[in-house]
Amino acid sequence: MGNDANARRIAQAVERWETDGVLCAELYDAEVAYFRERYFQNGELTFRFDNLQLRRQDMPDLVAACIRGDAGSARDR
């Protein structure tokens, strides 16, 4: 993404990877686990998540679902 990543560009890339059949979400399990540990404890999003100050275009609901473990598809994860 040429040092210019944002939620929209990442989502577009993921859609492309899924369409092309090359999406391997399990490759990112360690990173997802890191963020889940940092931003989700005792069944709740932590103050650290609130401090991310995600904007609407950052897809905060999708980010929260992923961190909580509620993102159902590999694409959403």
Domain ranges of the chain: 24-77
pLDDT in tens, 11-60: 899 899 999 999 998 898 899 899 999 999 999 999 999 999 999 988 89
pLDDT of residue 35: 92
According to the model, what pLDDT value does residue 49 have?
94
* Residues with Cβ within 8 Å of residue 68, at least 6 apart in sequence: 36, 40, 45
First to last CA, the chain: 19
pLDDT of 74 > 90? The answer is no
**Entry pTM:** 0.78
Q: Are 36 and 65 in contact (CB under 8 A)?
A: no
**Of 16, 9, 7, 20, whose CA–CA distance to 57 is shortest?**
7
What are the backbone angles phi and psi of residue 39, rounded to the nearest 5°? -110, 5
